[in-house]
Amino acid sequence: MKLFRTLAAFFTLALANAGIAGAEEFTAMGEYVIRSQVKITGSGRVVQIPIKPLPLKVETDGVTVRVSTESESDNWSTFTIYRSDGIGRQNTPGGPLEVVPGVQATSDHGGVHKHLRLTRDTLTLTVFPGVSDQTVVTHALLAPPVANKPAGESGADSSAAP
């Protein structure tokens, strides 16, 4: 019996350490900037919500997607991926439906259902409060790459002879 308890404790510790190690295995999917937000009421009324551009960081471990604002990088919203075989979209009303690489994920907390739709260039978050007839849809686009200056362009030419 003592051997069984020892083995059980060992496996519990091993699984706990694997969970801790796994928590750090998230890789960046991209940085997006929120561009618009709309509220849709139960009567079908669509209301634009004024919002300033807000940068978002998106990471995944292949099972979970984490989204945070750049100012709160250790405060994540977590979504569970349920579909990763592409996203259907139309670029023009009535145009053809195309499938682009992407994932869909959900989150259910406190009676609020959230749906995340993520492609290489867009992020759409739809929030369905449980006790409201209003749905909020947030659209974000992939942030433009930051232009990095090579180290030698900081003013003085470091390769010049003294």
Domain for residue 159, yes or no?
no
Q: What is the CATH number of the domain that holds 48?
A: 2.40.128
Residue carrying structure tokens 């900037």: 33
Cα(31)–Cα(26) distance, integer angstroms: 14
**Of the candidate ranges 10-19, 35-44, 55-64, the one whose mean pLDDT is the lowest:** 10-19
How much is the pTM?
0.72
16-29 residue pLDDT tens: 334 444 456 999 99
113-125 residue pLDDT tens: 999 999 999 999 9
Domain for residue 160, yes or no?
no
Q: How many domains does the chain have?
A: 1
133-153 residue pLDDT tens: 999 999 999 998 877 655 554
| Structural domain boundaries enclosing 58 | 25-144
- Report, as an integer, the average pLDDT of 84-92: 90
Would you state the pLDDT for residue 138?
Answer: 97
Domain for residue 6, yes or no?
no
